[in-house]
Amino acid sequence: MAPNDSAQGTGEAGTSGTSAAGRRKAARYLVPVGVAGVAAATIGLVPALASSGDPSLPKISAQQLIQKMASSDTQQLSGTVKVSSDLGIPSLGGLAGSLGGGALSGGGGSGGKGGSSAAPDSKLMELASGTHTLRVAADGPDKQRVSILDNAAEYSLIHNDRQVWAYDSQSNQVYHSKTGASADARQGRTDKLPATPKDFAEQTLKAVGPTTSVSVDGTEQVAGRDAYQLLIKPKQSGSTIGSVRVAVDSKTGTPLKFTLTPSSGGKAAIDVGFTKVDFGKPAASTFSFTPPKGAKVTEGAAPKAGTHKAPKGMHTAPKDLKSASPEDFKGLNIIGKGWTSVARIDTGSGKGIGAMGSSAQKSGGPVDAQKFLSSLGDRVTGSFGSGTVFHTRLVNALMTDDGKVFVGTVDKGALIKAADAAK
């Protein structure tokens, strides 16, 4: 019989200081949303792999399994990851240039005049929908490689010490940048794509607290390795996240598969998992790169001395939340706790979709754009006034007619309740 043990979630960090409390509130919001919104901006890996039978493993508690993951020191691995994402949004590949930001540019955007089709932000959004196959390799914190294998083309992102190279075989274009050289930059690198189940699992585990139920829900085999299944579920109603399931390698404690299922049911919204994995040291040549002859090379902007700006689009927050200050969340107010937290953002415009449409009508201007945007959402009212709710399978947003935005991994009712409470 597979092990099965429940827990009520781990405790939260210390509660001293207003700014620390604010950071925890922000983390509670950003982590569940980040599971999607790195979801939306950076996702998503693997349809659930066929099980080869449930292995018989020693019984383990949820707390012990979480500790096993936390103490895992896997530095070297290589393998193939299958990625599947179904967020209920259209393909985002064409929006990469406008939404992805300057990933891996050392803070300098996509670099060069006219940019480059090989810049990471040009490919990142493509992972937010559909199914993709990735080949990954890592040798410590300063050497990683991710290759996206789609159709006859291949896109590779290589990080070797301070050098970051990206190559798009379809366009024969190369993107190159350098990361910061400071000690802090080397200890907390952010210049890598979230490409393995571990990247997603770490973000989810940060959300574990009193509002979360955690249990061990059996065992399975992933990529030929025995694994425990860690089941994470919100205790609160109103969240669009139904459950998160993480397959944890029984020997190394490394997450092998990550599956996020929405509360509405149906297929997984995010499914990330290894189809092959090897924990041996990859060959040094794996992380070497020389631009092919005739390839167009675009140089990214060099980082300023002593700084290491996190590339846009790589994470759900501008820096590690543990070291963030209240200024990092200026203009962002968190309403509620845990999985039903909602972020309130004041756009400063004083106008939402409905208000803009009304102004256009009064001035005799065109209202087609307003009508189109309104058709994509549901008009709602409350004590806050009126607005439009836009839906995906995970992240929903309410844009009020006075220019405020409420967003979270919550249903429509929770967004309206949050807007009413903030009035």
Tokens of 225: 């390795």
Q: Is 50 exceeded by the pLDDT of residue 81? A: yes
Q: Is 50 exceeded by the pLDDT of residue 320? A: no
- List the beta bridge partners of residue 139: 76
- How far apart, in whole angstroms, are the C-alpha atoms of residue 71 and residue 57? 19
- How far apart, in whole angstroms, are the C-alpha atoms of residue 240 and residue 86? 14
Q: Is 60 exceeded by the pLDDT of residue 183? A: no
Q: Which residue has the higher pLDDT, 305 or 142?
A: 142
Q: Is 60 exceeded by the pLDDT of residue 204? A: yes
Instruction: Please give the C-alpha separations between residue 400 and each of 6, 11, 331, 389, 410, in angstroms, as whole numbers.
Output: 41, 35, 16, 9, 16
Q: Is 70 exceeded by the pLDDT of residue 112? A: no
Q: Is 50 exceeded by the pLDDT of residue 225? A: yes
- List the beta bridge partners of residue 346: 404
Region 198-209: mean pLDDT is 79
Instruction: Please give the C-alpha separations between residue 1 and each of 6, 117, 218, 389, in angstroms, as whole numbers.
Output: 16, 51, 8, 46
pLDDT one-digit tens code per residue, 123-177: 777 777 889 999 999 999 999 999 999 777 899 999 999 999 999 999 999 999 9
Give the helix/strand (H/E) hosting 261.
strand 255-262
- How far apart, in whole angstroms, are the C-alpha atoms of residue 343 and residue 27? 11
- How far apart, in whole angstroms, are the C-alpha atoms of residue 289 and residue 240? 42
Average pLDDT of the chain, as a whole number: 74
Region 383-390: mean pLDDT is 94
Tokens of 255: 């997450």
